[in-house]
Amino acid sequence: MERHRVVCVDDEEAILSALRRALRSEPYEVLTTPDPERALRWVSTRAVSLIITDQRMPDMEGTELLKEVSRRSPSTARLILTAYPGVIVSRPGVRGDTECMISKPWDSAMLRKTIRELLRDRDLDRAEEEAEQDRPGFPED
């Protein structure tokens, strides 16, 4: 099983630091950046299992970033952090290219659990795709 790579994008260093702290005990490689364009370069050049992004950033909204991530790397799981009140954890298929939405401030245990579930689902989907490719095809009539 591959080691999961998680990319976190937020224009606030304090949020990136909090995400690093929340995930430091997890078996993931965690990359953080305040720059959505850098995150897109990473997604284009590396296997990224999950991207976590803030919704409101000065250079690009989180939903725009996730739409482009979905286009470039459809197997990358996508989670958005929002300051909108009332959203605790919402999934699956929250809206468009967003798989999961979590409100700030988040509960770190709930965030880790949600990430594990997203990555488990991603791994199951990939295993199914590989199994489909390994099945012998049947000739068309």
SS3 state of residue 95:
strand
Q: Taking the chain, what is the end-to-end CA distance rounded to the nearest angstrom?
A: 39
Residue 81's domain comprises: 5-131
24 domain-assigned: yes
| Domain total of the chain | 1
137 domain-assigned: no
CA atoms within 13 A on the CB side of 98: 21
Residue found by looking up tokens 């979590």 in the block:
102
46 domain-assigned: yes
pLDDT in tens, 32-88: 999 999 999 999 999 999 999 999 999 899 999 999 999 999 999 999 998 876 544
**The domain spanning residue 52 has which CATH number?**
3.40.50.2300
pLDDT in tens, 51-66: 999 999 998 999 999 9
- φ/ψ region of 14 (left if φ > 0, alpha if ψ in -120 to 50, else beta) reads alpha
